[in-house]
């Protein structure tokens, strides 16, 4: 768990990263010596932007690839300007967006023997879910359960996101991992 001060720093860092990109077109650079120690840890995160309670961008890493502060900077900017579902964020939108940063635990494989077993093992509002079949894969953060509380609907939507048929989760050959997040908003 992150302290209140660390959470404030993380949100401020995400905000400043987007603001810096809007103002200069560049990437925010900060000194590691001024950082809280936890932000130097190698952790994965997602940055989610909402505008008027609607998704406006969401980009992140499932696995830790760099220090958390670098992941926050990179993913906040990517969510604002590189999410292929949206046009780049404008200055006017920036003034109104809400930013949420989700720090991920390491994904663990979910062992299941059937689609019924898979449904039984999923924990809505707790687990983020990663699916993989062949070269297709996708993830939903645990927060997505708020919009898709039905397990079957959740998995079908996740399959569609991965470019698969919506019932693909009911067929053999699907790999599934779960993870949890600490959502900072």
- 24-66, pLDDT tens digit by residue? 999 999 999 889 999 999 999 999 999 999 999 999 999 999 9
Q: Is 59 helix (H, G, I), strand (E, B) or coil?
A: strand
Domain 108-179 in CATH: superfamily?
Hypothetical protein ph0010; domain 2 (3.30.1490.150)
Q: Locate all alpha helices (DSSP H) within the chain, ordered by sequence.
A: 4-24, 68-81, 91-94, 115-121, 151-161
Task: Give the model confidence (pLDDT) of 90-124 as tens digits.
Answer: 999 999 999 999 999 999 999 999 999 999 999 99
CA atoms within 13 A on the CB side of 158: 30
CATH code, residues 4-104: 3.30.700.20
Using CA atoms, how far apart are residues 100 and 46, in angstroms rounded to an integer?
Answer: 8
Q: Where are the domains of the chain?
A: 4-104, 108-179
């Amino acid at each position: 768990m992150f302290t209140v001060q660390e959470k404030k720093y993380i949100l401020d860092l995400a905000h400043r990263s987007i603001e810096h990109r809007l103002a200069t077109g560049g990437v925010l650079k900060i000194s590691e010596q001024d950082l809280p120690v936890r932000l130097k840890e190698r952790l994965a995160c997602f940055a989610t932007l909402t505008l008027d309670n609607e998704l406006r961008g969401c980009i992140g890493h499932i696995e830790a690839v760099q220090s958390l502060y670098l992941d926050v900077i990179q993913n906040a900017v990517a969510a604002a300007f590189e999410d292929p579902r949206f046009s780049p964020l404008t200055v006017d939108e920036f003034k109104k967006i809400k930013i949420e940063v989700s720090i991920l635990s390491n994904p663990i494989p979910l062992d299941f023997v059937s689609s019924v077993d898979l449904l039984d093992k999923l924990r809505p509002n707790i687990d983020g879910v990663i699916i993989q079949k062949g070269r297709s894969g996708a993830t939903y953060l645990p927060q997505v359960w708020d919009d898709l509380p039905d397990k079957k609907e959740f998995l079908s939507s996740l399959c569609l996101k991965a470019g698969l048929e919506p019932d693909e989760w009911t067929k053999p050959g699907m790999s599934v991992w779960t993870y949890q997040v600490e959502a900072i908003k």
